Structure formats: C-alpha cells, structure tokens
Amino acid sequence: MFAPLPDWLEEFRAQLGAEVIETHISWLLLADGCAWKLKKPLTLPFLDYGTQEKRHFFCQEELRLNRRFAPELYLGLDEAGNSGEWAVKMRRFPESQRLDRVCARGQLRRAHLSELAQVIHALHAGAAVAGADSRFGEPEQVLAPALDNFTELLPLLPAESSRLDRLATWTQAEFTRIRGHLAARKATGRVRECHGDLHLGNLVLLHGQVIPFDCIEFNEDFRWIDVASELAFTYVDLLDHRRPDLAAWLLNEWLAESGDFDAVPVLRFYAVYKAMVRAKVAGLSGTAEVATGYLDLAESLATPPAPRLLITHGLSGSGKTTCSGELLMADPVASTLRLRADVERKRLHGLPPLARSRSDLAGGIYTQEATVRTYARLGEVAGLMLDAGWSVIIDAAFLKHSERANFHTLADQHNADFAILACSAPFDELCRRLEARRGDASEATVAVLKRQLDWVEPLTADELPLAIHPVQRSDPT
C-alpha cells in the first residue's frame, strides 16, 4: 500500500481532474489524453531524488533523453501548481500497443523486430560515446554488478546455492575470456549513452512504428553501457516471453543492420547478466518461483548446444535466404547467427543492404576479386562466432566446390559439425522468383542465373551425405 498523496499533489490532481497511478519511485496523473509523471522525494542506492533541485534536474534529463527517440510522446515539463515540483508531460497511448502486450496476444511479427533492430541501431548510432577516461564500460565496472547479483540472491534463494555458485563461476570465467573484448569495445566507441531499460514493456507500436520510451534517466551507470548489453536485454526479454524465434530474428537483424560483429563474443555474458538481474528483482519482490525461472534461463544461456556451421548451396532464387531464416528461427535456444553474402558484400563496398550497386554483370562489386573478398570476410566473422559458442549459417551461393571445402575446413578447425543446406527449384520457378523479387539485398537477375548455370559445381559424392534438402513453399519470401 502507498501513503496518501501529499496536499500539493492532490491539488494538482484535482486541477487536472486526473486519475493517479503510483509506482515505487513516481506518481502518474492521467487526464485528457496526457500523462504527467512526477518523481517522489526518495533517496535509494540506485537513485537520488532527495531535493527539489535534483527532481527538477532529472525531469529535464528524462525529457532530453527520451526525446532522442520519442519526441512525439514527450511533450515538455509542467510545474505542479505553486509547489516548486515539476512533471514530465507525455502524450498517452493505448497500453494494448506496448510490445509486451502485443507479444502476449501472439501478434508480434518478424517485421516488428526487423524495424526494432533498425530503431536500436539508429538510437545507438546517434548516441553520445563514453569518454576514454570515464568509468563507463571499463571491464571491472562491468564485472562488479554481475557478481553482486549472486551475493544478493544467495540469501533470497538459499535452496539454489549450488546453481548460483555454478553461474557465478561461469560469469567469472567468461569475464576472464572476454576481458580483452570488453576493453576493445570501450576503446572503439561501443560504450554509449543508451536507453538502459529496453524490455518489451518500454516499446510501443504506434502508427505501424516501434517506438522506445521510458529510458533510464536516474542512474548514469545503467544507461552508459555497451550497445551489446542494451541489445541483450531485449533478446533476453523475448526469450522470457517464450519467443526464441523472435529473439533470434531480432539479434540477427541487429547484427546485419549494425555490422557490429565484435559484439558477438560479449553477447552471451551480457545475456546471462540480464537474466540474473531479472532473477534478483524477482527475488527481492518475494517471488521465488519467478526468480528460479530466470535461473533456468541464465543456465540455458550459459550452456548452449555445441556450435555447428551450416552453409547454403544453390542458384539465385532457389530459396537460400528463406530456408536459412526459417532454420535460425527454429533454434529453440536462439543460439544461431546468420551471415548473408549479399549484405556483407555490400558492406565491404560501403553500401547499405538494400542499396542498388548498379554493377555490370560480373563487374563492380561482383568481380571475382570482390567475391573472393566476400567469402574471406564471411569466413573471418564465422570463425569469431564459432569461437564464441554460437552456431552459424552462411547464406551464400557456394556454387564452387573449393568454396564449400574451405568452410568445411573452418568447421573442423572449430570442432563444429558441418552441413550443407542444398536449395533447388525448376528453372522457370527460379526465373519467376527473380523477376518478382523486391526489397532484398540480392541483385541477382535472370541473366545472372544463366551465367551461374554455366559454372555451378554440383555437390560431390563426399558432400551429399552432409546435405539437407529443405521442403519449400512454391514462393519463398
């Protein structure tokens, strides 16, 4: 139960004719399609709203930070009568459009997550970068709160002491493994002023667009984080909502959008950390059963299946991208990453995925030299992913035996199982698909297809046992 409203707040509420919603750190007044958010006079270990000056400052910060991505929701600041207190004025939206509600109804789609990946990347691209001399993102600063979770959880979940010990040991060992990666990410500007609380409940679908809101304004350490840590929170929340398919899709779309493959070695550490934060919050709330569920999730993240490497093989239009996308979404623990040759080829030439290169047939970005560079880059990134314990799908034509053999060797070098996703379709169907293709990274045409037919090298007798032949719809999308 909460205490009665202060007199000044009751007067402001009456002036607005508002309904009141109270949280542990805020009051929300709802009226006339707007919401006024006021900060309680509190001092807690993670926030300080102890004076009017501080509360006013954090109202200004809330407005500044959230207007980066939701200017249409954050309207301004209003003074609460003559009290000296300030409120953040927001435009209300239907609660039913929050992504946690959309997901609960089974209406969250791949397209929503593709857009969210673009939104997150744009948010991070425009965010301030942590200074080299700041504490933010320093390896020891990353480790300390991760270990604190276990210290705080042990008295709350004494029956889970052995599991907590195992997870704490894993956290320390994983930190030791990735410490150099963490330092490098700080040095290369990947620690930024992020949102800080990017779970599904802080994302809303309005007018067909996914919009973040309610970022962390009250604690710099919570929002000045590695962009990979930010993405890991949304990824874990989708797993918590029992949607590993959408978690995998978001992660892969974000990697394709950002090209931030150096995030891969640290992602699992951050994902386990986010699951443990959820466990701690549940434990402190007295919901031990919920907390143990998050321990289950953390254990699953910390002990993924043995990685495997799968390459596609097939002519343009044969369904490689569709089938590989279905495979990565079918991974029940969302531990599969995909690399698309069409996307990475363009990235190597400074082009976004959907840009038209206007290259001639076998010219421009499609010369033999460019193709060799593309496959080399795919191998380099795939090795990084396999080293970090992720399974990998390479979506490329792999029409030549030598190309396939190189990646089979790569799998062997990383002790990963190897398979070939062999896609095919009748020539007329291939032509129809290519002529109908829109909005895709591939620039293949029927002319390209005809050239491929001249030099494609079919799977050999040694390769056929490694092949998976997917059953396709007549018109893969």
Per-residue pLDDT band at 440 (split at 50, 70, 90):
confident
Q: 3-state DSSP call for residue 37?
A: strand
Order the strands of the 417-422 sheet from edge to edge.
Answer: 336-340, 391-395, 308-313, 417-422, 467-468
Those residues whose C-beta lies under 8 Å from the C-beta of residue 18, and which sit 6 or more positions away, are 29, 30, 31, 36
Quick one: pLDDT at residue 437?
A: 81
Burial degree of 24 (CB within 10 A; 0-12, 13-18, 19+): exposed
Q: Where are the domains of the chain?
A: 7-92, 96-302, 308-468
Residues 270-283: what's their mean pLDDT? 97
Residues 141-163: what's their mean pLDDT? 97
Residue 274 near residue 200 (C-beta atoms within 8 A): no
pLDDT greater at residue 382 or residue 364: 382
Q: What angle do CA 124, 198, 79 make, to 5 degrees?
A: 95
Phi then psi dihedrals of residue 45, to 5 deg: -55, -25
Quick one: pLDDT at residue 402?
A: 97
Instruction: Give the pairing of strands 467-468 and 417-422.
Output: parallel
User: Is the pLDDT at 476 greater than 60, yes or no?
Assistant: no
402 CB neighbour count, 10 Å cutoff:
9
User: Is the pLDDT at 269 greater than 60, yes or no?
Assistant: yes
Topology at the third CATH level for domain 7-92: Phosphorylase Kinase; domain 1 (3.30.200)
Instruction: Report the CATH architecture of 96-302.
Output: Alpha-Beta Complex (3.90)
Quick one: pLDDT at residue 442?
A: 83
Q: Residue 99 is which amino acid?
A: L
Phi then psi dihedrals of residue 307, to 5 deg: -70, 150
Three-state SS for 168-182 is: HHHHHHHHHHHHHHH
Residues 4-11: what's their mean pLDDT? 90
User: Which residues sit opposite 124 in a β-bridge?
Assistant: none
Place of tokens 């490329």: 396
Quick one: pLDDT at residue 355?
A: 75
pLDDT greater at residue 134 or residue 445: 134
Quick one: pLDDT at residue 125?
A: 98
Residue 77 near residue 89 (C-beta atoms within 8 A): yes
pTM: 0.94
Quick one: pLDDT at residue 473?
A: 63
Distance CA 165, CA 447 (A): 60
Three-state SS for 393-434 is: EEECCCCCHHHHHHHHHHHHHCCCEEEEEECCCCHHHHHHHH
Residues 377-395: what's their mean pLDDT? 99
Q: 3-state DSSP call for residue 456?
A: coil
Residue 391 near residue 335 (C-beta atoms within 8 A): yes
Per-residue pLDDT band at 176 (split at 50, 70, 90):
very high
pLDDT in tens, 71-127: 999 999 999 988 999 999 999 999 999 999 999 999 999 999 999 999 999 999 999
Q: What is the mean pLDDT of the chain?
A: 95
Per-residue pLDDT band at 1 (split at 50, 70, 90):
low
Q: H-helix or E-strand containing 449?
A: helix 446-455
Quick one: pLDDT at residue 344?
A: 96
Structure tokens at 29: 């007044």
What is the end-to-end Cα distance of the chain in Å, rounded? 52
pLDDT in tens, 238-255: 999 999 999 999 999 999
Distance CA 406, CA 271 (A): 32
Of all residues in the chain, what percent carry a pLDDT higher than 70?
Answer: 98
Residues 13-27: what's their mean pLDDT? 93
430 CB neighbour count, 10 Å cutoff:
22
DSSP class of 70: -
| Residue 251, CA distances (Å) to 93, 144, 355 in order | 27, 26, 22
User: Is the pLDDT at 477 greater than 50, yes or no?
Assistant: no
User: Is the pLDDT at 48 greater than 80, yes or no?
Assistant: yes
DSSP class of 316: T
Per-residue pLDDT band at 474 (split at 50, 70, 90):
low
User: Is the pLDDT at 353 greater than 90, yes or no?
Assistant: no
Instruction: Report the CATH architecture of 308-468.
Output: 3-Layer(aba) Sandwich (3.40)
DSSP class of 342: H
Quick one: pLDDT at residue 3?
A: 76
Burial degree of 142 (CB within 10 A; 0-12, 13-18, 19+): buried
